[in-house]
Structures are given as C-alpha cells and as structure tokens.
Structure 1
Amino acid sequence: MTATRQENASSGLDRSEPIYVAGHRGLVGSAVWRNLTNHSFINLIGRGSDELDLLDRNAVFEFFAATKPTTVILAAARVGGILANSRFPADFLSENLRIQCNVLDAARQHEVPRLLFLGSSCVYPKFAPQPIKEEYLLSGHLEPTNDAYAIAKISGILQVQAVRRQDGLDWISAMPTNLYGPGDNFAENNSHVLPALIRRFEQARLDGEPSVTNWGTGTPRREFLHVDDLAEALLFLLEHYHEAEPINVGTGADVTISNVADLVARAVGYGGRIEWDSTKPDGTPRKVLDVTKLTNLGWSPRISLDDGVRSTVEWFRNNVGNIRQ
C-alpha cells in the first residue's frame, strides 16, 4: 500500500477538490486561503475557532466525516513571540500537541491522500551550524525560550513521517522561517519581533516619543519571509514535493534585529533614538535556513524585506482598528 500510494502521487492539484485549511483566519492560513483563491481553487473549507474547536477531538473527527477533504493544510497552532513562549510553555506544548494529534488522526482515519504540516524553524537546535539544513533536526539542544513549542512541532513532523511509513499517505512537512505580513499578530505581549517593532515604532511616532527601547542587544541575526511568499511556496510544494523529510522555506538571507529596527523606523517615519535593553533575552544568536532543497525544486521568494515591511506597515495602519493588538 505504501509504494502504490506514493508512487501514484499526482503533481498537480485539482482546482475543484475539497481542501481544508486549518487555521484559515491566522497569519499563514489567511495567506494560504488568498493564494488558493487567486489560483482558482473553488472548494476551500475553513472553520473559525468559534465554529470548530480543534482541541475538541470528537468535533474534529465529526468535521472530517462531514466535509471529506482530499487535501489538508495544517496551519492552525497556538503561536507567540519570545515573551509568550517563555511565560506559557505548558500551554504552548499541550495545546499544539492536541491540535496536531486531533487533525492528523482524523485525516489519517479518513485516509486523506495529501496533507501539508506547517512546522517552524525553531525545531532546529539553538547552536545548529548556519545556514540550517533539514538534516540538523534532532541533532542538539533547543532554544530554551521556545523549547515547548518546538517539541510540539517536532512531534508533528514525526507523526507525518510515521503515517507515511505505516499507511503510505503522501503527507509532507514544511519548515518556514520567521514570517510577517498582513494578518499578523501585533499584540504587545505575545507578538513576534517584526510586528512588535512595527507597533512600537508607529506608537512612538504618534506619541512623539524621543526614543524607543527594544528587547535584547539587537545583534542576533534573523531571516524573514513575507507570508504571501510562503503561501506560494506551500502550493508549489503540494504540487511538486513528495518526500518524507521536512523541507525548509525561507529566503536564505538574514539580517540583524538592529537592522530590522532601523528598517521599520524608516518605514513608519520615526526619527527618534533607537535603544536596546540588554537585560532582556536575545534568543538564538543566529537563525537562517538553508533553502537549497527548495531552490533546486524551482521555487524562490519574490518579495524583498524592504517592500514587505513597507506594505505591512501600510496594512497595519489601514486595519489598526480591527487587528489583534
């Protein structure tokens, strides 16, 4: 059964097939939904948390029985920045494990032929060689500030691989780098670095503050990918990638957090001082993904960091009354 299903995997997706996007209202899920719509997919399935609680195992199984998706994109997760991950590790571990197990188990029971699980670059060791290759997974200690979230994501990767081995279903895992863009979480206490910087600098500009203080030293290096580029990459992988090993999705280029802060300040028009609080944690010193495998398949991002930040600032200003803050 394993060989038959995976050898017969189709490269293209039928635009009329039922595709379930788990987490379709979040940063990644909403971008995936937009992209699939733009590519003429006409049978997309999405449920908000008010309609389907992914922590409710019975509800998830009933949902799969009723909708019968043939492709699943698992983008639903409890996510947050370094502060939220540090404060609530038990919640991040428990909730993400339950979401993943419920969706993956239901998809397995219904023999969903194609599934893409979204991991995270935080699954790799804190001091992994740079740039980070897919083969470095499980080769060292994790970054302590988000190890609980990382363990949950690693479990999802291993579950996908186990289902492939046991049932022969053509499921894959993608490891995106740091993401940003429209639909992001700009909340003060649980957002990721780039949206947090946008909110902070925009508020300082509006308030006429003479300086802005950011966490850490500003020296760690990070890679950033616009979420619309990620959405394009995920569709590409669903149509062209059929391997058990997870695959990295990123730009392959990194910048210092200090550089990002300067870029955001320019984008919002803030001219005050930028200061750093070195008593706060920096996290992993450097994190950039090796995207050779994806590049060799024929995909690369199109949105530059400058253009992406400017458009995200514009989106933030246009939606400030309706976004997560």
Structure 2
Amino acid sequence: MGDPSNGTHLLLLSLFVRTFGSALSFLSDKSAKIFVAGHRGLVGSAIVRKLRHLGFTNLVLRSHLELDLTRQNDVESFFATERPQFVILAAAKVGGIHANNTYPADFISINLQIQTNVIDSSYRHGVSKLLFLGSSCIYPKFAPQPIPEDALLTGPLEPTNEWYAVAKIAGIKMCQAYRIQYNWDAISGMPTNLYGPYDNFHPENSHVLPALMRRFHEAKVKGAKEVVVWGSGSPLREFLHVDDLADAVVFLMESYSGLGHMNVGSGKEVTIKELAELVKDVVGFEGKLVWDTSKPDGTPRKLMDSSKLATLGWTPKISLRDGLVDTYKWYLENVEQ
C-alpha cells in the first residue's frame, strides 16, 4: 500500500491546477519546469531552441534511452519525480509511405502508447497545461481545400498513412476528453508540412523538400548535367519552417485554451515545380531539371486553413526562400561531411 497522504496531495494539486491552471501565464515564469517530449527530433529540437532563446532555464529533456515513453511505469515514475509544470508533446514515431505500409502495427501502437502515457501522467501529476502536436494527415483524403479544423472525421483517411493518422486523432480526442471530464487545460496543434534543421535527409525515406535538397546537392558535387524529378510538378503543397512552428507553439501555450484543435500552417502554396526550382537555386545546381511524367503526382492540392490561429494573432515570419537557405546551411554543416 502506498502512502495515502501522497494520494491526497496529488488530488489537491490536480484540483488546484484544474481550477487555476489556465490562468497561469506560460511566458511569465522563465524558471517554470517544462518537459519537451521528443526534444531530439525536427519539431522538438526547434521548440527547445525557441524556449532557450526566450530565456527559459528549467527544461526537462530525456532521450529515448533515458526514458522510453511507451513504458507506462517509467513515464509514471518520471512524472512523479520531476513534476513538470508544462508539457509539450512532440514525441512520435514518424515515417513515410513505405514505412507506414511496412510497419502499421508499430505506427498505431507506439504512438498510442506514447500519447496515452504522457497525457494521463501529466494530468494526474498536476501539470498546468499540455500541448499535443499532431499532423495534417489527420484529415480525410478528400477534405475540402483549404482544410478547416472541422473537416476532421468527415471522410476516409489516406490509406497510406491511416495507422499514424488514427493514433494522432486519438491524441486530439484524448486531450478533449480530459478537458471535458476534468476541466484540464490540454490543447492540440496540427502543423502542415514542416522542414528545417534536423530534418530527415535520407535518400529514400525523406519527404519531398529534404529529398530535393539532397539530390540537387549531390548532383552539384558530382557535376551532373541533369536531375530527374518524379511527376509533372503541378501539385500544390504548403510548407512551414520548423522555427515558425516553435514560435506558434509558444503562442498557443500562452494565448490559447480551448476544446478544438488548431491548424498551424503558412497559408501559402507552391507547386512542386516552383519548389524544385527554388531548391535548385538555393543549392546552386546549374544543370537541367527533367520531369518524369510517367511517375505519379500524388494529391493535387493540400493546404490547411489556419485562419483561426491568424485571428488569434499569430502568423508565420520565415519566407520559403529564407527557410531553404537556413536549412541548406544546416545540411552542409551537419549532414554533408
């Protein structure tokens, strides 16, 4: 049997947080203990950079080796010991189409375990506010464009990433359920396509922007005369620099407390052809671009409606060109050795 007084303390602490937590300002106390889950990834590392830049001095960071978020007892013990005041949940198992099709059980089970353990332990150990981060893939395959938040659960998902998407939808609903039942301040943000430092530049498993950057760089180094790109170049895509997302995360933690999840996008579209030409220019590849139109284009358009966030007062600051220059500089310093 555990100490009953400890349970009473937890109950009183949680009651205080549920009553007064949403009134606490995120930015007012730079010594507040903040747990950033997934701090080594593309998103988590950007959030850590942003928080440190703002002067936060008490970040709680754990690598996967130090804390396996899929293990309930380990997560419970961590929260009981550390007692963070704020939690930003950026940890997830992520991957492209091939990985999702090959390991569907991993994508649904690992993400569900991470979310359930962190969200539940956060609530029960008195965390004032939690932000859960998802992905634009939560929306139906044929959602209206631009995609509003209320398009969620209005149609079938894209089959190639439904396992990951179902887990992320469950995370949104879990935050909403804890808010409804316990009046606890758990919110969700859904970013669009992200890029920037610490992106995945793997030659086969990376997304379109880092893949193009690597291919143009390697072609430049080899002195190749052309680079072949799949499709027609006509599909429209939206991109957001991960440092802009980190800025939005801080804004949401400070300024938003509501039941609905919030889209976080740039609001600007670019064709894959325009993107390829821009990456080619930033990298300095002077050869020719060849489009292999026998290969599929994918979804014609995928744009998120981020007007709700804009109405609250947040808009992105980093242009696509500036963001690409920044990303290529990081690539040269960290990937291309």
TM range (shorter): over 0.9
What corresponds to 2:32 in structure 1? 17
Write the letter of the residue equivalent to 1:155.
Answer: A
* C-alpha deviation, 1:217, in angstroms: 3.4
Give 1:3 deviation, angstroms: 11
Whichever of the two has the greater Rg, that structure is 2
Secondary structure of the 2:305 match is coil
Does the aligned pair in 2 maintain the 1:6–1:170 contact within 8 Å? no
How far did 1:16 drift?
1.0
- 1:180 CA drift (Å): 0.5
Is 1:295 paired with 2:310? yes
TM-score in terms of structure 1 length:
0.93
Is 1:308 aligned to residue 323 of structure 2?
yes
Offset of residue 91 of structure 1: 2.1
**Structure 1 equivalent of residue 3 of structure 2:** none
**Residues 1:35 and 2:81 aligned together:** no
2:80: which partner in 1? 65
1:122-152, Cα deviation, whole Å (9 max, x unpaired): 1111111111111111111111221111111
Query: Out of 143, 158, 170, which is 1:155 matched to?
Result: 170
Tell me the equivalent position of 2:189: 174
The answer to whether the 8 Å contact 2:87/2:129 transfers is: yes
Mapped pair 1:95 → 2:110:
yes
Residue of structure 1 equivalent to 2:335: 320
Change (3 A) 1:20 1:235: same
Q: Partner residue of 2:92?
A: 77
Shift of residue 277, structure 1, vs aligned partner: 4.0
Alignment of 1:228-267 (within 5 A): 228-267=243-282
- Alpha-carbon spacing, 1:214–1:68, altered in 2? closer, same or farther (3 Å): same
Q: Residue 83 and residue 201 in structure 1: after superposition, are their counterparts in 2 closer, same or farther (change >3 A)?
A: farther
The alignment-based identity, stated in percent, is 57
The answer to whether the 8 A contact 1:164-1:171 is kept is: yes
Q: Which amino acid aligns with 1:54?
A: L
Matched, 1:56 2:67: no
Offset of residue 17 of structure 1: 1.0
Is 1:203 paired with 2:218?
A: yes
Match of 1:188 among 190, 193, 203: 203
Residues 4 and 269 (structure 1), Cα distance of their counterparts in 2 relative to 1, 3 Å cut: closer
Partner residue of 1:275? 290
Could you tell me which of 114, 129, 138 is aligned with 1:123? 138
Corresponding residue number in structure 2 for 1:114: 129
Q: CA deviation at 1:66?
A: 1.2
SS in 1 for 2:161: helix
- The number of equivalent residue pairs is 322
Alignment-derived partner of residue 224 in structure 1? 239
In the TM superposition, residue 278 of structure 1 has moved relative to its aligned partner by 4.5
Conservation of the 8 A alpha-carbon contact between 1:5 and 1:170: no
Q: Which amino acid letter does the alignment assign opposite residue 193 of structure 1?
A: V
CA distance in 2, matches of 1:215, 1:96: 31
Deviation track 1:41-63 (CA, whole Å, cap 9, x = no partner) reads 11100101121111222111111
Q: Is the 8 A contact 1:2 1:169 kept in 2?
A: no
Are 1:250 and 1:289, in contact at CA under 8 Å, matched by a contact in 2?
A: yes
**Aligned CA distance change for structure 1 residues 219 and 93 (closer, same or farther; 3 Å):** farther
The 3-state SS of whatever aligns with 2:117 is helix
Q: 1:99 to 1:270 in 2, by over 3 A?
A: same
Query: d(CA) in 2 for partners of 1:138 and 1:162?
Result: 16
1:2 touches 1:167 (CA, 8 Å); kept in 2? no
| Distance apart, 1:96 and its partner CA | 1.2
Distance 1:279 1:55, change over 3 A: farther
**Does the aligned pair in 2 maintain the 1:6–1:242 contact within 8 Å?**
no
Counterpart-to-counterpart distance in 2, 1:4 and 1:100: 20
